[in-house]
Amino acid sequence: MVGKSFNLSLPGIGSYSGRYAYFAAVCGLVLMGAAYLGWNHVTRTGRQQISQIEKRAMTARVLDDVQNQLNLLENRLQKIVIQSDKGDREALALRVRRLGYALRHLRTALRQQGGSDLVLAEALQEDGESLGQAAQELFRIRTNDESWFPALRLMREEMLPHDQQLLGLLDQLLQESEDEEIPLATRLRVLQLVTSLRKDWLNMIAEMRLFVANRFGIFSNESSQGMHSRLLNVRIYADELPKYLTPLRRLARKQELGFIGEEFMDAIDSHQRAWLEAFTRLEKLLESPDWRRDLVLMRESIAPVVKRMRERISTLDTDLGTQSARDITHLAEITRQLSKSILSLAVAGILLILFAYLFLRRNLLRPIAETALALKQEAQGMVDIAPPPASLRETRDLVEAFTEMRKQVHTRQRSLDHMAHHDALTQLPNRLLFRDRLQHALELASRGDHLVGLMFLDLDRFKQINDSLGHLVGDELLKLVAERLQGLVRSSDTVARLSGDEFAILVEGLEEQEDMVPLAEKALSMLERPMWIAGQELRISASIGIALAPFDDITTEHLIRDADAAMYQAKREGRADYRFLSNEMTHRASESLHLENEIYRAVEAGEFLFHFQPVVRIGDGRLDGCEALLRWNHPRKGLLSPEVFLDTLNSTGLISAIMENLLDQAEAQQRALSIKQGYTVGVSVNLSVRLLNDPTFCRALLERLVAGQFADGGLVLEITEDILTQELAEAEVFLQQVKTLGGRIALDDFGTGQASLSHLRQFPFDLLKIDRAFIRDVNTDPNNASLVQAIIQLAHAFGMRVVAEGVETQAQRDYIQGLECDYIQGYLVGAPQPSGSAGLC
């Protein structure tokens, strides 16, 4: 055992690569250990901070819900103050419950989060309970007239008994004065005085009631002026009463009224004074801020609680923001620490790489370079140069590794090239590869006599399949379509998927245009055959557009554009068909682009304006309103009608840009006509789907109505039947708000669209306008006459007024009047005129 040594033997330790591997493994383990410790610390701390941030974000969402529920409850209370009905009880209770749920949820979230904000949440919950009780009290007041108006209780309990007692005493006085023992002259005198007294008394009572009615705003928009006038009349009648009571008292004192004595007259005076004193209190009550108990409750109980809750919500929101900012700052500090750790590890890694490079350069690279030089010299015939002594296993392994890597790189490059030029779903050439092949085909065709055909194919109603059956079924359908299209063409042709459900087929070597017809017909027939996907039978069709080079164009972009235009023409003409590009399509596309550019310029120049056509009452011809009809004052073409430009205005969204100026014109016209006629004259403005779904326009229009820019009934919004069948988002709510603010709603062109009776019931229409197509032959065509009569009766059954459009002859007017139509519009009563024209009145 003496002299025996211990040798550590490891696999590969004898080679440089093995030694480097062991060295790298040891260094890597050290770096990984340091990195794990740093990562574990940063991760644990970061998770804690992220958890706190997530909790506060959840609390912020709950707080937003509390704010939203509070706003909804406040809006409901405002609605009850403005106009309440029995159905509001359940809606109010629902809002109170939801606010309570949100406040309890907030308290739970803050308890889980911890901190001093829980006290605020509990205070908010108490405020919510107080607000709920006050809300129920408000509803109780609004549904009880005497609780709502204390003046009614005073009138019923005090003033009415004195009124009845005094009238009863006057009746008794008349009966006693009929005694035949009383001289006839005295009886006549008493009859005159009592009758006059009763008349003035009843007139005073009537004026008192009108005084109260004016305070409630029943008969006059100027309630203060009406109250002052009625109050003055009450006092005038009260001053007249002694003129009759004094002579009667004098007769009673002289005992000329039989059994009627001064005590009887004292009773009349007592009831008169008591009634007048009660009226004085009534006057003070109606002129005080407390004349409506619901407003007092809103002012003294509900508004302070809502304000306090908003302040506490704001405080909570600020606290949450501050705490979140602090957590984010802490998280940023942790990130900085992590960055420092990564930097330290990077420096250590760089040092390790540098050391490894020196090690490899000395022990591996230099021997490999010397060996390579020796091999090169040997290849040149310098056989006397021997390679330096070194192990060649690493060199051999390195050459083999590079060879294998070069093979893998080539394979992956081919795969990436395929992915870059082919559709991932169908494996067809994509738009990029298709454009390259089309460009190449056009270059070849330019040097020969052959044609190049481009077929642009779009699946009809593919979106419905995606929406109803799902995208997986839609993807399988696209794969089947790709397979069928590939089976139709020659190997020299190209089938590509450009995007979505759009495919293209490139056909080369054509002799004439008709050579594309068989392929198009085969494609249509092939696609119409049933397809079975996921156990379901699907049937589809396609619209195909065809363009040929060099007939239609000679550039890639323009030829694709031409085929696309032809495809859309096929869709417009019924789908499931093919169309070649025609000069008319090219001209239409050019004109459409030119028109769009002109409209942009016209909007900036303010060339759009309203012309107004009168709408009159059919019975007496009185002007009820006028319809605002959009016109374009083109600098070269003159006045253009909406048929020329309205679709482009809506499709580009420019309709919203011009509406503010147009509404100013409508407002000025409505005000001028109302002043001239002496009553409110309405102005009708037509709305498109684009405007109804534009929240900015809707909000601006409601602000105009709130500001009183249009009088009550002065603005009429017209929508057509076709609009009702489209997705209108929040249009119903918007139209209800317009009606609440004094506007009116009209259904235009009735009978030409697809509106149902449910639409008449769902939307708040005030007017129904019968389209001119039914009015044209109403007095000569029995079918038209029966239809117009049915429409008028239907509208009246729904509580709507009816306007007949396009009335141009007296015979039409007379016939429509016999059907009990309400209003007429047309050239018989007036053509559209610019603002300020005398023909509007």
Q: Give bridge partners of residue 453 from the DSSP assignment.
A: 507, 548
Domain with CATH 1.20.120 in the chain: 16-145+298-324
Q: Are 272 and 245 in contact (CB under 8 A)?
A: yes
| Residue 805, Ramachandran bin (φ over 0: left; ψ between -120 and 50: alpha; else beta) | beta
Name 683's Cβ contacts closer than 8 Å, sequence gap at least 6.
612, 625, 626, 627, 628, 666, 667, 669, 670, 673, 710, 714, 715, 716
Instruction: Express the helix, strand and coil content of the chain in percent, nearest 5 each.
Output: 65, 10, 20
Name 613's Cβ contacts closer than 8 Å, sequence gap at least 6.
626, 627, 629, 825, 830, 831, 832, 833
Give the integer Cα–Cα distance in Å for 205 and 155.
11
Q: Are 747 and 686 in contact (CB under 8 A)?
A: no
Q: Are 510 and 452 in contact (CB under 8 A)?
A: yes
Give the integer Cα–Cα distance in Å for 752 and 261.
83
Q: What is the pLDDT of residue 86?
A: 63
Domain with CATH 3.20.20.450 in the chain: 593-832
Domain with CATH 1.20.1440.210 in the chain: 153-287
DSSP line for 319-330: HHHHHHHHHHHH
Give the integer Cα–Cα distance in Å for 812 and 783.
15
Q: Are 454 and 503 in contact (CB under 8 A)?
A: no
DSSP line for 165-208: HHHHHHHHHHHHTT-TTS-HHHHHHHHHHHHHHHHHHHHHHHHH
Task: Identify the segments of the chain with pLDDT beneath 50.
Answer: 1-6, 218-221, 383-387, 390-392, 398-399, 402
State residue 169 phi and psi, 5-degree precision: -65, -40
Q: What is the pLDDT of residue 269?
A: 83
Per CATH, the architecture of 422-581 is what? 2-Layer Sandwich (3.30)
* Nearest Cα to Cα of residue 527 among 468, 576, 573: 576
Q: What is the pLDDT of residue 377?
A: 58
SS3 682: strand
Name 426's Cβ contacts closer than 8 Å, sequence gap at least 6.
478, 479, 482, 497
- Paired sense of beta strands 833-834 and 542-549, if any: unpaired
Tell me which DSSP letter residue 266 carries. Answer: H
Exposure of 53 in the CB half-sphere (CA atoms within 13 A)? 15
CA distances from 153 to 91, 147, 160, 271, 623 (A): 29, 8, 10, 18, 45
Give the integer Cα–Cα distance in Å for 528 and 506.
21
CA distances from 358 to 452, 492, 826 (A): 64, 58, 99
Query: Any idea which residue has 């205070």 for tokens?
Result: 123
Give the integer Cα–Cα distance in Å for 679 and 60.
53
Q: Which two tokens stand for residue 777?
A: 């032959």
Q: How many residues does the chain have?
A: 841
SS3 579: strand
Q: Could you report the per-residue pLDDT of 537-550, keeping only the tens digit for each?
A: 888 899 999 999 88
Q: Could you report the per-residue pLDDT of 144-192, keeping only the tens digit for each?
A: 555 556 666 777 777 778 878 888 888 887 777 777 677 777 778 878 8
Alpha-helical (H) ranges within 216-365 are: 223-253, 262-287, 293-297, 303-360
Topology given in CATH for the domain delimited by 153-287: de novo design (two linked rop proteins) (1.20.1440)
Q: What is the pLDDT of residue 2?
A: 42
Q: Which CATH number fits domain 593-832: 3.40.50.300, 3.40.50.720, 3.20.20.450, 2.30.110.10?
A: 3.20.20.450
Give the integer Cα–Cα distance in Å for 109 and 103.
10
**The CATH number of domain 16-145+298-324 is 1.25.40:** no
**Is the model's pTM score more than 0.75?**
no
